[in-house]
Chains A and B, each alone.
Chain A
Amino acid sequence: MKIDLTDTTSSKINAALMDARRAGGSTAAGMVLTLVIVTDEGSAYDALKAANDASREHPSRTLAVIKRAGRSPRARAETKLDAEILAGTDAGSGETVILRMHGELVAHAQSVVLPLLLPDAPVVVWWPENAPQHPAQDPLGAIAQRRITDAVTAESPVGQLAQRAASYTPGDTDLAWTRITGWRSMLAAALDQRPVEITSAVVEGESYNPSVELLGLWLTTRLHIPVERVVTGGPGITSVTLRTKGGDIVLDRPDGLMGTLSMPGAPDRQVALKRRETSELIAEELRRLDPDDIYAAAVRTPVERLREPAAETASHAPVIEAAVAAPARVTAKVSAKAPDPAKKAVAKKAPAKRATKKAGS
């Protein structure tokens, strides 16, 4: 069901929502949260689609705030609120209200949103792009328990991380962080199998991708080791190497789909590590609404902590353009290949080593 309200107010929207629910035959709605999406006409469609898909797991009231300040002085002078209500099958499992704000109202979006929040349910604000500098101090961000930004859409994605760190308030989170959950859990699972001491690590991935940096920062904060950052052609993160005395633990994903996990003393194994859709990322974000301390620790570590490999910083400028990224990848491959024979030799030695350790302890 779709209801269009032009030049309206929050209380009229509330009444229309109630009517839509009655018409649908049920007055109770088991919705668990309100998701506020702050966006523009350009990205509203994709964001709403992702939110709809995510609402199958988290039935929610979705409020899309579209700001239309207007180009001409006349348009700017006219303050107006238009609403489009989607309910029932059109809105996943939940309700969607698209709020188009014109003129001066753009600066007072929270006055429209506040009366439309579900009673006693958590509020999540998501900026698919153009997130405010300080999300928690934004008038809309201030009413939310959780604020989702996406550093990858910023003009300088890696610089954006520093901004996120500076303005971090408990409840902030970034989709660049959500994107690496699969990598993080696979790496943690690799270390579950036997306790090893990791001496250093290398993360490889395309430039302008804050997820690669975050993964490196996470490894630094957790393991207290130097982490190298190697730029490759992507897609996304292509490889992580954890260096141990017994050889390298390598999780390699050249195609953005299938990963290979190699560990010393074990055969190479394939793992599915697909890059996920935005809807899956949002669904993961909505699963937990408490502050993500692990993200806080990672993002607050200065990016400078990640070293560019020594040989490469000499031959390449620190900023590598996407077009030149391909040769960088080749060098990365070479550098990855170099320790290979050593690794095999150590791998052969490993069982003997373990046996002595057992006898000793």
Chain B
Amino acid sequence: MSNEYPEVEQGDPPLVPSNPLRDPADRRLPRIAGPSGLVIFGVTGDLSRKKLMPAIYDLANRGLLPPGFSLVGFARREWEDEDFAKEVHDAVKQHARTPFREEVWQQLAKGMRFVQGTFDDDDAFDTLRKTIEELDQAQGTGGNFAFYLSVPPKFFPNVVQQLKKHGLADPPQGSWRRAVIEKPFGHNLESAQELNRIVHEVFPRDEVFRIDHYLGKETVQNILALRFANTMFEPIWNRSYVDHVQITMAEDIGIGGRAGYYDGIGSARDVIQNHLLQLMALTAIEEPASFHPKALVAEKLKVLSAVQLPEDLGKHTVRGQYAAGWQGGEEVVGYLDEDGIDPNSKTDTYAAIKLEINNRRWAGVPFYLRTGKRLGRRVTEIAVVFQRAPYLPFDSYATEELGQNALVIRVQPDEGVTVRFGSKVPGTSFEVRDVTMDFAYGESFTESSPEAYERLILDVLLGDANLFPRHQEVELSWDILDPIEQYWDTHGKPAQYSSGTWGPTEADEMLARDGRSWRRP
């Protein structure tokens, strides 16, 4: 270990050297990543073209990447560096959020390389090592590289072993090597542990960054600001005032071309295990002692380990499959008729579960989590629904149209916060009806707010782990979901719901049993 470069762990905030030009009061100076490069495996994939490459360009355009930042693509396709640069150029022009500027592109293009090969090809990894060494010389990346595994998880063991074999995972003194992996992090607890074992064998725990792009969204980070920077919400954020919480992530699309990936996985594993449980954790956590990543993860782990499954899983969980129907004016086929899907498939495209959190703040408050494909519209939101007023001094007709107060955090689209409360209807009689008060992000803040991947890639380069789920969180989440999946495997089959609706009637019945109903998001 070098004395000149203190070791940085993933849990620690990014290293702040004693730089006389920096001052905490100087808020104009952005956080710029140190000398570094990014290697993307599976660079020809959709995610890479639509999200990663544009995010890298946007970061460069905002001046947040270090001079000499390098991007290495690794894939099977027979490309030269120029072909790769052209592909990135096209992706950037099409998908970047900030305007295209030639000089920024010139700066980026200087550090672009492409390595052709398959994951078991020793020569290709040799070339990759040489490329990285060459970049250290030519671009001054200082040996700091992050490896982004944008490949199906079955290739993970292969890739990380190759990285180890060719010495790519061992940083030269005073530099770092990091691994970035995408969901799915396994398909149950056992496979997740196996995956963690494989990755941790090669990369230290603190150098592994798991991307849950939801955590990079401004609205999700705003949950913490909303709760812990204000005084007016926290006093009612508990079982004394909250009746229940609904967390919804709905998609209007079907499985598209992802039959091979989706069948056998299903919506609960695909969405609830990671995104929804993370949203629930952020909604329910206690105030962390600080925003040090270790403090935040400690609180999240407390909440996740306090989660209690309902005793009767049959009554309090529902899964469904979309059937043929009309969605937004288009006729669409059912899940079982999709290309490449076994007509007897029991994979869920809709899942709704009820969870409780056993602690002083939340005991007795149900958290309803639901997700689905081919639902009414694309929306993700967290709705905190409050109890009714204990006594209403109006006659019963006056408050007939008054629902429960609610605070809704709209995660996407139309990011913002809505508060629903009762208000008098103008007129001579006294009548109270629900009205909403709105805060919209697009209105009050920047339209050019960074995209989730921008933030997350920058955080990887900076070594800031706050927005990445740790392996314990992943394993705890599987711990919550596994009993439900096991129950579903052995009991019955998914309920059918017509495409374009808000899910099977069984889901409505599930809430009706508790005397509640789903919000229409």
Q: Which residues of chain B in 320-377 are interfacial with respect to chain A, using CB atoms and an 8 Å cutoff? A: none
How would residues 259 to 280 of chain A score, 1 for a CB under 8 Å from any chain B CB and 0 otherwise? 0010100110111101000000
Interface of A is mostly: mixed
* Contact pick for A269, options B18, B26, B101, B139, CB 8 Å: B139
A271 close to B67 (CB less than 8 A)? yes
Nearest-Cβ distance from residue A221 to partner chain B, whole angstroms = 10
Tell me if A257 counts as interface (CB < 8 A to partner B).
yes
Residues of chain B with a CB closer than 8 A to A192's CB:
17, 19, 22, 32, 34
* Contact pick for A267, options B27, B137, B444, CB 8 Å: B137
How would residues 9 to 34 of chain B score, 1 for a CB under 8 Å from any chain A CB and 0 otherwise? 00000000111111101111110101
Tell me if A303 counts as interface (CB < 8 A to partner B).
no
Tell me if B447 counts as interface (CB < 8 A to partner A).
yes
Contact A182-B63, Cβ < 8 Å, known A191-B20, A272-B104, A274-B101: yes
A59 to B443 alpha-carbon distance, docked (Å):
6
Nearest-Cβ distance from residue B73 to partner chain A, whole angstroms = 20
Residues of chain A with a CB closer than 8 A to B110's CB:
270
B20 close to A223 (CB less than 8 A)? yes
Q: Which residues of chain A in 170-196 are interfacial with respect to chain B, using CB atoms and an 8 Å cutoff? A: 178, 181-182, 184-189, 191-195
> Considering only CB atoms and an 8 Å cut-off, how many residues of chain B contact the other chain?
45
Q: Which residues of chain B in 437-468 are interfacial with respect to chain A, using CB atoms and an 8 Å cutoff? A: 438-440, 443-448
Nearest-Cβ distance from residue B217 to partner chain A, whole angstroms = 18
Q: With CB as the reference atom, state the residue of chain B lying closest to A177.
A: B28
Residues of chain A with a CB closer than 8 A to B107's CB:
258, 270-272
Nearest-Cβ distance from residue B318 to partner chain A, whole angstroms = 37
Nearest-Cβ distance from residue B212 to partner chain A, whole angstroms = 27
Residues of chain A with a CB closer than 8 A to B231's CB:
none
Tell me if B106 counts as interface (CB < 8 A to partner A).
yes
A294 close to B25 (CB less than 8 A)? yes
Residues of chain A with a CB closer than 8 A to B23's CB:
222, 294
Residues of chain B with a CB closer than 8 A to A258's CB:
103, 106-107
Tell me if A40 counts as interface (CB < 8 A to partner B).
no
A178 to B448 alpha-carbon distance, docked (Å):
19
Nearest-Cβ distance from residue A140 to partner chain B, whole angstroms = 25
Interface window among A1-9, A80-88, A331-339, A353-361: A353-361
B21 close to A354 (CB less than 8 A)? no
B34 close to A30 (CB less than 8 A)? no
B28 close to A184 (CB less than 8 A)? yes
Tell me if A32 counts as interface (CB < 8 A to partner B).
yes
A226 to B335 alpha-carbon distance, docked (Å):
73
Residues of chain B with a CB closer than 8 A to A58's CB:
446
B21 close to A222 (CB less than 8 A)? yes
Tell me if A288 counts as interface (CB < 8 A to partner B).
yes
Contact A272-B443, Cβ < 8 Å, known A181-B28, A189-B32: no
A57 close to B137 (CB less than 8 A)? no
Nearest-Cβ distance from residue A48 to partner chain B, whole angstroms = 19
A261 to B35 alpha-carbon distance, docked (Å):
12
How would residues 135 to 153 of chain B score, 1 for a CB under 8 Å from any chain A CB and 0 otherwise? 0011110100000000000
Tell me if B490 counts as interface (CB < 8 A to partner A).
no
Tell me if A308 counts as interface (CB < 8 A to partner B).
no
* Contact pick for B29, options A28, A185, A354, CB 8 Å: A185
A272 to B111 alpha-carbon distance, docked (Å):
14
Contact A269-B67, Cβ < 8 Å, known A185-B32, A284-B28: yes
How would residues 95 to 122 of chain A score, 1 for a CB under 8 Å from any chain B CB and 0 otherwise? 0000000000000000000000000000
Tell me if A93 counts as interface (CB < 8 A to partner B).
yes
Tell me if A293 counts as interface (CB < 8 A to partner B).
yes
Nearest-Cβ distance from residue A145 to partner chain B, whole angstroms = 15
Q: With CB as the reference atom, state the residue of chain B lying closest to A191.
A: B19
Tell me if B68 counts as interface (CB < 8 A to partner A).
yes
Tell me if B396 counts as interface (CB < 8 A to partner A).
no
Q: Which of A222, A288, A357 has the most CB of B within 10 A?
A: A222
B66 close to A189 (CB less than 8 A)? yes
Tell me if B2 counts as interface (CB < 8 A to partner A).
yes
A234 to B161 alpha-carbon distance, docked (Å):
53
Residues of chain B with a CB closer than 8 A to A193's CB:
34-35, 142
B4 close to A357 (CB less than 8 A)? yes
Residues of chain B with a CB closer than 8 A to A263's CB:
140
Tell me if A134 counts as interface (CB < 8 A to partner B).
no
Tell me if B60 counts as interface (CB < 8 A to partner A).
yes
Tell me if A56 counts as interface (CB < 8 A to partner B).
yes
How would residues 24 to 53 of chain A score, 1 for a CB under 8 Å from any chain B CB and 0 otherwise? 000011111000000000000000000000
Nearest first, the 5 A-B pairs at minimum CB distance are: A30-B443, A269-B68, A269-B67, A266-B140, A188-B21
Give chain B's interface residues, CB within 8 Å of chain A. 2-4, 17-23, 25-30, 32, 34-35, 60-61, 63, 66-68, 101, 103-104, 106-107, 110, 137-140, 142, 438-440, 443-448
Other A-B pairs, 11, CB within 8 Å; known A267-B68, A270-B107, A274-B103: A32-B444, A93-B447, A181-B29, A188-B21, A191-B21, A193-B35, A219-B21, A270-B67, A271-B67, A272-B103, A358-B2
* 8 pairs of residues in contact across A and B, judged by CB atoms under 8 Å: A58-B446, A191-B22, A195-B18, A219-B21, A222-B20, A266-B68, A267-B139, A361-B3
